[in-house]
Structure 1
Amino acid sequence: MTDTDQIDDADADKSLADRVRSHVRGNGTGMVQDLAFAVVWVTVVSLLYDFLFSAAPQWVLYMLMLAGVPAYFGFFISLEMARAQQ
């Protein structure tokens, strides 16, 4: 075995729960924002597909769900730009 197989991380001695806690503590706000966006997007798309596009084929639902990826990045990039202008 070579030396490259060893982990030289300071967190290597911590348990998995400690590492997860540390990660969530450092990225908590962003994780909550990501989760909130995902829940809202899936809810809106599901409601649109069930009521407005009820006669559409199922691939329309998949395309609307997939459209959430550029919508996510577009929303948060524009949010950063708006904050930078203030």
Structure 2
Amino acid sequence: MTDADHIDEPDADESLADRVRSHVRGNRTGMIQDLAFAVAWVTLASLLYDFAFAGAPQWVLYMFMLAGIPAYFGFFISLEIAKEQR
């Protein structure tokens, strides 16, 4: 869902650490957004399961976690649409 500035083809003499560093440099903002969304979603799902649905079976927690996948794409697609409309 994030835009990379450019996609590098790995060089034969480039180490794994150099490739990782280059990838992180090109996708830094997107990686931070993804991490923030994941932490917020897992926290919300865990709190809902622990307090609002305390007597629910374990599979309810797994369904909350699984619902994070469409929530992630829905959130970032709507964010892109909102940015385009500005």
TM-score, shorter chain, exceeding 0.5: yes
2:43 corresponds to which residue?
43
What is the aligned-residue RMSD (CA, Å)?
Answer: 0.9
Change (3 A) 1:85 1:17: same
Are 2:10 and 2:19, in contact at CA under 8 Å, matched by a contact in 1?
Answer: no
Q: Which runs of 4+ in 1 moved over 6 A?
A: none
The structural deviation recorded for 1:13 is: 1.3
The amino acid of 1:12's aligned partner reads A
2:61 corresponds to which residue?
61
Are 2:42 and 2:65, in contact at CA under 8 Å, matched by a contact in 1?
Answer: yes
The amino acid of 2:84's aligned partner reads A
The amino acid of 2:85's aligned partner reads Q
The structural deviation recorded for 1:80 is: 0.3
Unaligned runs of 5+ residues in structure 2 are 1-8
Report the secondary structure of 1:47's partner residue: helix
* Bigger helix fraction: 1
2:38, 2:24 → 1: CA distance? 18
1:17, 1:10 → 2: CA distance? 12
Larger RCO (alpha carbons 8 Å, 6+ apart): 2
The amino acid of 2:11's aligned partner reads D
Percent identity over the alignment?
A: 78
Count of matched residue pairs: 78
Change (3 A) 1:10 1:46: closer
